[in-house]
């Protein structure tokens, strides 16, 4: 039997949890008896208990559960294969594949608290040597992992993010839906997401008949950031899936200003809902968005303001092209293909 470190089912859903959820939904179609191990928790949604074969083990939670109770249980049943799609994998547990979404804590260490950096760097260094292999979400991240961990390219497999198919919408509906004068930004409020840059550039642009809608909460692992307040800026905090769906469908423009991303799922979510995307030209983002985004320099406020004004002024001309390209782009991120690639990799592992 194959097991999944499913601690993510007990956590608030952000991009990495969404990645794990979408991929696991596909994997159970191919491995019906796939077992999801979680800490004992009241936070697990009843729908996950119905959808997945969940086994709750141990008496603790957090890193103690992940590093002590989880590997102890696995060794007690013969050390079966463990798949980890978020967070940390158990250090020194060899029959394991773990996932690194990006190497931002190496590239930009000042963005993170010292304790977070220390724990993750130690775990990565150990598991890069011990584990069967590493999964990551883009060719960009694969290159970063090879550079910073000094490991063989053969040990790293790219399993790209996919949008959740259960939330598909028709292109014709999205193109013709009446939208509000809202510019949407979705992401954890942390330094690399570059939210302050968008806020300041938006306020300096002189655009008055649009609101900037910011969705996301503060990340506990990151350095704190503060933001300007204005009547045309709305901070929504974390939203439910249904509330976020509504925001994507209402917005006229989606903005993704990150300075560093291993992948970046929100632009694909916006494309799926027929919302034109403006995106940073850094890191993995052009690899993900291709020709389906209007790019800007995330360090240049003037460039961002000019591109935003241009997109607003030429909206009837540019938005249909971006929406159409977005739907075509989504076809490159089929979770079925990703799952088959994973299954091929683990079938060739050393026992």
Strand 277-280 with 253-256, pairing:
parallel
Chain length of the chain: 351
pLDDT digits 0-9 by tens, 14-28: 889 999 999 999 999
Percent of the chain with pLDDT over 70: 93
Q: Are 214 and 233 in contact (CB under 8 A)?
A: yes
pLDDT of res. 306: 96
Domains of the chain: 3-162+334-347 (3.40.50.2000), 166-330 (3.40.50.2000)
pLDDT digits 0-9 by tens, 269-320: 999 999 999 999 999 999 999 999 999 999 999 999 999 999 999 999 999 9
pLDDT digits 0-9 by tens, 125-174: 999 999 999 999 999 999 999 999 999 999 999 999 998 764 444 444 44
Q: What DSSP letter does each residue of 84-146 carry, written as one string? A: E-SS-PPTT--SEEEE----HHHH-GGGB-HHHHHHHHHHHHHHHHHSSEEEES-HHHHHHHH
End-to-end Cα separation, the chain, in angstroms: 13
pLDDT of res. 14: 82
Question: d(Cα 159, Cα 141) in Å, to the nearest integer?
Answer: 11
* Tokens of residue 206, six digits: 């002189």
pLDDT digits 0-9 by tens, 214-239: 998 876 544 455 566 788 999 999 89
Compute the average pLDDT of residues 19-45: 93
Beta pairing partners, 185? 214
Strand ranges inside the chain, DSSP E: 3-5, 35-39, 53-57, 82-84, 96-99, 133-136, 156-158, 182-186, 211-215, 233-237, 253-256, 277-280, 294-296
pLDDT digits 0-9 by tens, 174-222: 445 678 999 999 988 888 999 999 999 999 998 989 999 999 887 654 4
pLDDT of res. 219: 61
């Amino acid at each position: 039997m194959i097991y999944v470190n499913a601690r993510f089912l007990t956590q608030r859903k952000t991009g990495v949890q969404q990645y794990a959820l979408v991929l696991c939904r596909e994997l159970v179609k191919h491995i019906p008896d796939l077992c999801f191990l979680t800490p004992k928790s009241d936070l697990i949604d009843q729908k996950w208990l119905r959808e997945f074969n969940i086994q709750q083990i141990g008496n603790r939670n957090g890193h103690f559960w992940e590093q002590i109770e989880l590997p102890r249980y696995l060794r007690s049943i013969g050390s079966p294969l463990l798949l980890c799609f978020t967070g940390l994998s158990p250090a020194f547990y060899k029959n394991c594949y773990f996932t690194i979404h990006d190497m931002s804590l190496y590239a930009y260490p000042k963005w993170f608290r010292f304790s977070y950096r220390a724990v993750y760097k130690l775990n990565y260094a150990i598991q890069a040597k011990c584990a069967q292999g590493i999964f990551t979400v883009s060719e960009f991240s694969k290159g970063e992992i090879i550079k910073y961990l000094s490991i063989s390219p053969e040990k790293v497999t790219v399993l790209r993010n996919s949008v959740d198919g259960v939330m598909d919408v028709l292109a014709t509906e999205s193109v013709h839906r009446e939208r509000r004068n809202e510019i949407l930004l979705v992401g954890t409020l942390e330094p690399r997401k570059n939210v302050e840059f968008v806020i300041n550039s938006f306020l300096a642009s002189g655009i008055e008949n649009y609101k900037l809608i910011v969705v996301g909460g503060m990340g506990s692992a990151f350095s704190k950031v503060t933001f300007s307040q204005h009547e045309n800026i709305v901070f929504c905090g974390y939203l439910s899936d249904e509330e976020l769906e509504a925001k994507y469908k209402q917005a006229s423009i989606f903005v993704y200003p990150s300075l560093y991303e291993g992948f970046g799922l929100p632009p694909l979510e916006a494309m799926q809902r027929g919302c034109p995307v403006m995106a940073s030209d850094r890191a993995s983002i052009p690899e993900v968005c291709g020709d389906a985004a209007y790019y800007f320099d995330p360090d240049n406020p003037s460039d961002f303001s000019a591109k935003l004004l241009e997109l607003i002024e030429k909206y009837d001309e540019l938005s249909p092209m971006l929406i159409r390209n977005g739907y075509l782009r989504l076809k490159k991120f089929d979770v079925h293909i990703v799952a088959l690639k994973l299954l091929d990799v683990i079938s060739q592992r050393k026992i």
